[in-house]
Amino acid sequence: MGEPSMSEEKKITLSVIKADIGSLAGHHIAHPDTLAAASEVLAEAKKKGVIIDFYVTHVGDDIQLIMTHRKGVDSPEIHGLAWEAFKKAADVAKELGLYAAGQDLLSEAFSGNVRGLGPGVAEMEFVERPSEPVIIFMADKTEPGAFNLPLYRIFADPFNTAGLVIDPRMHSGFTFEIYDVMEGKAVKLNAPEELYDILALIGTPSRYVIKRVFRREDNLIAAVVSTERLNLIAGKYVGKDDPVMIVRAQHGLPAVGEVLEPFSFPHLVAGWMRGSHHGPLMPVPQRYAKCTRFDGPPRVIALGFQIKNGRLVGPADLFDDPAFDETRRLAQQIADYMRRHGPFMPHRLGPEEMEYTTLPQVLEKLKNRFYKAEEYKVKIRHSEMLTGEVHD
């Protein structure tokens, strides 16, 4: 094999891997001893040169491992390290009797990659720019599709991102890689000319999730989201997905202010109590990243880092700003309004999403009590509408 090129030598991988391994008093906050246990594992790996740098944090009851290294995306060594850190943290959670200890660890054994084992993963590999600002968004009590609307506004909406109009590096637009998480398929669509096609998909965030965004000018990776759906992995409801997202900013990409701006609107997302309700996504500083009211409302934090030679400089707590106070106040009003619906839609999720919660267990005991309503004739059953197969 030949010598690696200069660009290959300079490539950095930023990995953000998260899991809920147990919480203090219900589902609202990670215990500091579990964070310390995970940090010890990563500190030893840094000492051995496995990773360059790391930062361990949490949003609500989810622990996030932020790591830099040169081993590329989906490295078995890095994923194995994350698995070890989560297992050690889960052991502490069990010792302390924390609630739902080890919840997101769906297997006893590591098989080379944490994908499919429960933890969520957002990773990107890139050549460091002279100044490399990145923002890591971490959400609790919601699903990966919660980032669809903000990502669209960041990378496709000129009313949000002025750089799409006036920055020549962004003027040709961005490519959105969209996953169909129900079918395990993906499609790449280009903005601005395929905007309506993009919206046709991502407007259904429970199924179509933006996974990556690339700058079309040079295919530079700009953003990546964890798209793991726990209920689809486990085959039952074991907790909401609580996604993480990495967004690179500045110097030919949206400015930090443009990246944060979509979160000034607390849009409705799925999740909240028992993963079964819609509620506003509230941008909060780290100190408010604990979900207590009805296990919510859903929260998102944003930590800003500079990356220099793989070193994580920071973070800056970007939502710790009174400029977002009115957003938080509006989110509270929306929460009040939605909560007054109680168990009714649209506060409670629609039937398709409730299939992945504990509700089917309740419906199961009623199924034999239904009888045919003679005066009500159904021409096409709902199941036939979904499959397209109509039977006489």
Query: Is 237 noted as a catalytic residue in this protein?
Result: yes
Choosing from 55, 152, 179, 237, which is the catalytic residue? 237
Choosing from 18, 20, 62, 141, which is the catalytic residue? 20
Say how far apart CA 38 and CA 207 lie, in whole Å: 32
Query: Is 20 noted as a catalytic residue in this protein?
Result: yes
Choosing from 71, 240, 242, 290, which is the catalytic residue? 240
Say how far apart CA 360 and CA 195 lie, in whole Å: 37
Query: Is 218 noted as a catalytic residue in this protein?
Result: no
Point out the residues that are catalytic: 20, 237, 240
